[in-house]
Copies of this chain bind each other. A is one copy, B any other.
């Protein structure tokens, strides 16, 4: 059983997961392990069991596409990239994120005033 704090912190991270993954894909065509590495470098942990189904979901929604590529060190990899629709989607999420940051700052930093 995990603590309340860990739960709440995880909740926060969950909210931006999709957004971050799409952002990473908007810069590079990468395969899942690359994404995990990049997110870990930014202190945003993702694990396989989360990422693979999420990528499939985004692909089925028409936001992502992939191509197979051979690998020297194992089975072939799925290299993902954004579709046109995916780019529009990402743009909308970026706006939402900016608004959210502003809203949270309002809520958490404003003083009582009558």
Contact = CB atoms under 8 A, between A and B. Distances in A.
Interface residues of A, number: 42
A97 interface: yes
Copies of this chain present in the complex amount to 2
Interface string A73-104: 00000000000000001001110110111011
Interface string A25-65: 00110000000001100111000000000000000010100
A88 to B, nearest CB: 9
A107 interface: yes
A114 to B, nearest CB: 10
B43 A8 contact: no
B96 A27 contact: no
17 contacts: A5-B93, A9-B93, A9-B96, A11-B18, A12-B16, A12-B96, A13-B15, A13-B100, A16-B100, A20-B107, A20-B108, A28-B112, A43-B103, A44-B104, A44-B107, A97-B108, A101-B101
- Lowest 8 CB-CB distances: which A-B pairs, in order? A15-B15, A23-B108, A12-B15, A20-B107, A42-B103, A42-B106, A9-B96, A42-B107
